[in-house]
Structure formats: structure tokens, C-alpha cells
């Protein structure tokens, strides 16, 4: 992690949220309390009552900020994905939901028209692939998405993998770390969002999206890499802090690969860390599709490893319509391949000592979207390092989407214990999965899907 942007923080300023309702309340409170900036980056914004309240909170915060002539107006930045954000009817999409925010910005500009002096910017990133332009709605989302999750208010930020829709506020489990008093981290994230926004389409109050001056391309990757280098080389002088947040950006199509490189370096060190018997590793992914090198590194390590993924009923595509109906079955096939690899790569002693290597999140009425990694002590009481963010550790993350993941390392025993509690709260809903489970008739993938898996793996 030495080459990554690193931000010193105090453990006392880190809160771990456990429930979707806490996440939603933190968003509402963060927006209401913001005085200088609100920065939201997500895949999409839903179209229900919860989401309307979020937008109205931003409008109210903007109106309360006063005249646009004030020296430090409230800045509001929203970044979403264009393919996902425009899906649906013109009156039932993310663009439609955010029109009132754009209208509020226009009211604050002279002449009641949009101008560069407006302090609101609502951006929709569109994957530059020609294939994405040719494919129909929904299917075009497999090519590449804006998948970063950043929820920032002044100098506080929520690190999460959750999106901005009702399910993520009620009964879709994710992870949420609220970090307060982190101005340098928030400065970096705001600039990162600005970089992507400059390559994105801009929303106006009439619901129209205007094209960017320069579409996404290598120039965007170069600019983001310069931003990363700027913050990686500058010094953070927070001497009293006991924890460090590392930012790992991944934009594979643009040549930004910090997340992939940092994760690979960590994986290469895992065998040495775990061989001592002093550590154990937990990994979670709502969409379990690890890259081959990630799988090999995990499975060749000693036995202190547990993996949690979504059961078919906890998969967000469960009982979906159209081609996405088969997605849960595809992930079951990927689980089967993982266990087959485990049988080949893991030592017999490790298999005997840990028959429950893989578990599925099964909580009635809930879906599972959490992802991350926890490196803890052998006793299971402390977690000294965790990864949290938008990454699922798969091929999409590495090759297609825009992602940001965070590493949190701490020397604070109290925070390390709370991270262990967060991990255990997720894994307590895990049901052990064996090859026999996956070979049951109701879990078998159709023959055509099994044949298509090599191609499917790179798109999910």
C-alpha cells in the first residue's frame, strides 16, 4: 500500500453502521448538516419515496445556503452511471428524480438559466464502448459502468458498496463505514468525482443530458493517475492518528489499476501472514466471481479462510425477468468451480480442519450486497485491516467498471474489535455450502449456461 494515497484518521472518528436504515439516516443527516459540499457518487438513484426525500434534502440544503453571490456557496456534486440512470421511462429514472435539484440550481443563477456559476453539477458517466452503444437497454450495462460509491458531506464520508435506492435503505445488506474529520481524504474524493464528471454527460432541469466536451478516454485515465500521484506523494501530518485509509481506484479501460495491483500485492503476502497461524482471513462478495489469480492465492494459503457470498434467494437478481433470471444459477456454477478448485489446491489437512470454507448469506426477506476483506487475529477478536468499497474482486472490477475501494488499517484495539463484530454480524447469517449442496437439482445451471460460463465470467 506504500504507493497509494494514504490518509491518517483517528479511530474515534470512525463509526461502523450495521443496518441499511442507519445508512439512510446517515445520508439524510449528512446532507442536512453540510455547509460547504455534498458529493454523491453511485451506480444509480432509485425512484421511490426514500429517494425523493434524499433529493428534497439536497434542494433544501441548497436553498438554505443563501445567495449564489456568497463567497463559499454550497457545492453539490452527483455522479451516476448513464446507462443505469436513464433506464426506464422519462418520468421514472434517475434523471427524472434529479431534475428538481437542477431546477433549484438554475433558480440560483442570474437570469434563471444554467451557467457555469451554478454550484450544482449532476453528471452521468457513459461507457465509451461502441458495443455498449449498440446493445439494448439493460443488456448494455454489462459492458461497463460507473460503479464508484462515495457519499461525502463537508469533511465526512461514508465508505460503502451500497447504491442509492430503497432496497439499500431497507433490506439489502451492505457495509458502511462513516469517517468524520477527514478533510484530505474528502478533498481527494471530490477531485476524483470531478475528474469523472468532466468526462460525463450533464443533466439540466428539462431532463436533457448534454454531451461532455471530451468523452471518456485515455486522457481521463492520465488525469486520474496524476491525481493519485499528487496525493500519494504529499505528506499527511496527522501525527495523533492511529488509523490509515488507503484509496484504491480502478478504471481498467483507462489504465488506472491501483485496486488490482494493491490487492495482488496483498494476496502475495497472505501465505506468509497466514502461515504463522496468527491471522485469519474472511472475504465477502455479493457477486462471487473471483479472478483466477485471486482464487489461487486464497486457496493456496493455510486453512484460516472463510468466504461469504449470496444465496440464490439473497441475490438481487433472484426471480428477475428476462435473461437476468439465470444470473443466480450462474453464480451457483461459479461457487461450484471455486469448491472444485479448492479440492485441487488446498491441502487435505486444511480441508479437514475447515469444512465450511464457503457459506451463503441466507436471511429471510433480505438480499446480500456486502463485499470486502477482513484480516484478523487467530482468536477472531480483532481485525487490523479491512477492505471496503465497490469492488467485488472479480473480472468486471478489474476490466470494465469504474471502482474505488478503500483499505482501513488500524492500531486501535477498540476499532479492531468493532471491525471484528461487523464481520461476525455478516457471517452469522452464513449457511455452509458444499459440493453436494450445489449439485442438488434446484441448484444446477442449464447446460447452455455452463458452456457460456467462460464468457459470462468477464461480464459479471
Reply yes or no on whether 149 is catalytic: yes
- The span from the first CA to the last CA of the chain, in angstroms, equals 27
Distance CA 56, CA 428 (A): 37
Contact 215, 202 (CB under 8 A): no
Distance CA 139, CA 320 (A): 14
Distance CA 147, CA 165 (A): 14
Alpha-carbon distances, residue 193 vs 188, 230, 349 (angstroms): 9, 15, 48
- Compute the CA torsion angle 413, 419, 423, 425 (nearest 10 deg): 100
Enclosing H/E stretch for 107: helix 94-107
Reply yes or no on whether 18 is catalytic: no
Which ranges of 204-325 does DSSP label H, i.e. alpha helix? 218-233, 258-275, 292-299
DSSP code of residue 299: H
HEC secondary structure over 351-415 = HHHCCCCEEEECCCCCEECCCEEEEEECCCCCEEEEEEECCCCEHHHHHCCEEEEEEEEECCHHH
Reply yes or no on whether 10 is catalytic: no
From the list 119, 154, 258, 259, the catalytic residue is: 154
Helix (H, G, I), strand (E, B) or coil at 57: helix
- The grid cell for 57 is 434534502
10 Å CB burial of residue 337 (0-12, 13-18, 19+) is middle
Helices 327-345, 447-456: axis angle to 10 degrees equals 70
Torsions phi, psi of 53, nearest 5? -65, -40
Contact 314, 360 (CB under 8 A): yes
Rounded (5°) CA angle 127-130-132: 55
From the list 149, 369, 371, 429, the catalytic residue is: 149
Contact 412, 247 (CB under 8 A): no
Distance CA 282, CA 136 (A): 38
From the list 10, 50, 81, 147, the catalytic residue is: 147
Residue 414, CA atoms < 13 Å, CB-side half-sphere: 8
Q: Which of 69, 53, 68 is nearest to 105 (CA)?
A: 68
* Range 168-186 burial, b when 16+ CB lie within 10 A, else e: bbeebbbbbbbbbbbebbb
Catalytically active residues, by annotation: 147, 149, 154
Amino acid at each position: 500500500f506504500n504507493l497509494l494515497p494514504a490518509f491518517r484518521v483517528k479511530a474515534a472518528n470512525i463509526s461502523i453502521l450495521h443496518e441499511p436504515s442507519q445508512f439512510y439516516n446517515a445520508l439524510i443527516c449528512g446532507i442536512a448538516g453540510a455547509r460547504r459540499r455534498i458529493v454523491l457518487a453511485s451506480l444509480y438513484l432509485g425512484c421511490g419515496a426514500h429517494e425523493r426525500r434524499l433529493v428534497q434534502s439536497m434542494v433544501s440544503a441548497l436553498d438554505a445556503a443563501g445567495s449564489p453571490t456568497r463567497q463559499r456557496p454550497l457545492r453539490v456534486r452527483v455522479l451516476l452511471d448513464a446507462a443505469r440512470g436513464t433506464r426506464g421511462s422519462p418520468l421514472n429514472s434517475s434523471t427524472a428524480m434529479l431534475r428538481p435539484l437542477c431546477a433549484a440550481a438554475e433558480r440560483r443563477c442570474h437570469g434563471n438559466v444554467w451557467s457555469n456559476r451554478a454550484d450544482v453539477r449532476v453528471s452521468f458517466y457513459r461507457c465509451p464502448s461502441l458495443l455498449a452503444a449498440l446493445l439494448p437497454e439493460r443488456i448494455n450495462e454489462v459492458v461497463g459502468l460507473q460503479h464508484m460509491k462515495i457519499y461525502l458531506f463537508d469533511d465526512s464520508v461514508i465508505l460503502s458498496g451500497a447504491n442509492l435506492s430503497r432496497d439499500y435503505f431497507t433490506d439489502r445488506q451492505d457495509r458502511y463505514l462513516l469517517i468524520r474529520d477527514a478533510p484530505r481524504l474528502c478533498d481527494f474524493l471530490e477531485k476524483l468525482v470531478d475528474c469523472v464528471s468532466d468526462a460525463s454527460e450533464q443533466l439540466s432541469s428539462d431532463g436533457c443530458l448534454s454531451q461532455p466536451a471530451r468523452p471518456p478516454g485515455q486522457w481521463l485515465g492520465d488525469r486520474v493517475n496524476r491525481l493519485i500521484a499528487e496525493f500519494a506523494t504529499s505528506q499527511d501530518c496527522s501525527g495523533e492518528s492511529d488509523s490509515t485509509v488507503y484509496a484504491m481506484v480502478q478504471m481498467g479501460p483507462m489504465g488506472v489499476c491501483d485496486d488490482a495491483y494493491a490487492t495482488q500485492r496483498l494476496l502475495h503476502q497472505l501465505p506468509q501472514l497466514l502461515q504463522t497461524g496468527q491471522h485469519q482471513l474472511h472475504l465477502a462478495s455479493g457477486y462471487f466471481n473471483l479472478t483466477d489469480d485471486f482464487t489461487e492465492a486464497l486457496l493456496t494459503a493455510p486453512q484460516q479462510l472463510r468466504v461469504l457470498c449470496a444465496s440464490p434467494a439473497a441475490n438481487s437478481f433472484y426471480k428477475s425477468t428476462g435473461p437476468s433470471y439465470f444470473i443466480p444459477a450462474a453464480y451457483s456454477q461459479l461457487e461450484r468451480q471455486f469448491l472444485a478448485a479448492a479440492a485441487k489446491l488446498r491441502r487435505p489437512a486444511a480441508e479437514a480442519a475447515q469444512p465450511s470454507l464457503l457459506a451463503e448469506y441466507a436471511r429471510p426477506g433480505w438480499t446480500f450486497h456486502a463485499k470486502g476483506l477482513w484480516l484478523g487475529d487467530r482468536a477472531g477478536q480483532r481485525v487490523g485491516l479491512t477492505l471496503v468499497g465497490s469492488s467485488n474482486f472479480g473480472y468486471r472490477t478489474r476490466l470494465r467498471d469504474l471502482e474505488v475501494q478503500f483499505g482501513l488499517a488500524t492500531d486501535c484495539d477498540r476499532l479492531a474489535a468493532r471491525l471484528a463484530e461487523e464481520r461476525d454480524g455478516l457471517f452469522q447469517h452464513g449457511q455452509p455450502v458444499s459440493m453436494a449442496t450445489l449439485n442438488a437439482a434446484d441448484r444446477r445451471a442449464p447446460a447452455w449456461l455452463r458452456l457460456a460460463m467462460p464468457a459470462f465470467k468477464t461480464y459479471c
